[in-house]
Amino acid sequence: MSLDPSFVGRTYPPTAPYQVGREKIREFATAIGATDPAHHDPEAARALGHPDVVAPPTFPVVVTMAANRQIIEDPALGVDYSRVVHGDQRFAYTRPVIAGDELVCVNTIEDITSRGGHGFLTTRTDVRTAAGEPVVAVWSKIVVRGEA
């Protein structure tokens, strides 16, 4: 089943708020080898002007991967997740993610193309605080491999 191009422009409902925890930021930073003290020590983060520890730049993947289930699990779109490989990821920040943030995601399908028998799906996830403050936009491209 190929991806349905009529989904381009579709926006999904906002997700439930995700509470960003200090320990979650520390664990993520440790897992990726991010040693900057601002990711681990609240005092180091405060010295830089932040109210608490600051998440590494790729941390929003924790929130957006879960949010993207809305798209991946939409049966009408036609994504066979067993055939998916990661294509690209990029971030455009308004401000850093900080421990204590409550983040809400809104997913939009920006592009669907087909090349060489493979489907290419580009999504944008706008991440805001529960109060509506913009934090980061995250673009993701996945490739749905065609049948061999």
* Domain CATH number, residue 79: 3.10.129.10
SS3 call for 141: strand
Measured between alpha carbons, how far is residue 132 from residues 37, 52, 109, 136 in Å? Answer: 28, 20, 21, 12
Q: Does 85 fall in a domain? A: yes
**What is the structure's pLDDT at 147?**
81
The total domain count for the chain is: 1
Terminal Cα distance for the chain, rounded: 13
Cβ neighbours of 60 (radius 10 Å): 25
Q: Identify the bridge partners of residue 137 per DSSP, sorted by sequence position.
A: 92, 126
Q: pLDDT value at position 22?
A: 98
Q: pLDDT tens digits, the chain, 148 residues: what are they?
A: 589 999 999 999 999 999 999 999 999 999 999 999 999 999 999 999 999 999 999 999 999 999 999 999 998 998 988 999 999 999 999 999 999 999 999 999 999 999 999 999 999 999 999 999 999 999 999 999 988 6
What pTM did the predictor assign?
A: 0.93
Assigned domain for 77 exists: yes
Q: 3-class SS at 82?
A: helix
Say if 44 falls within a structural domain.
Answer: no
pLDDT on residue 143: 95
Position 50 in a domain: no
Containing structural domain, residue 10:
5-21+55-144
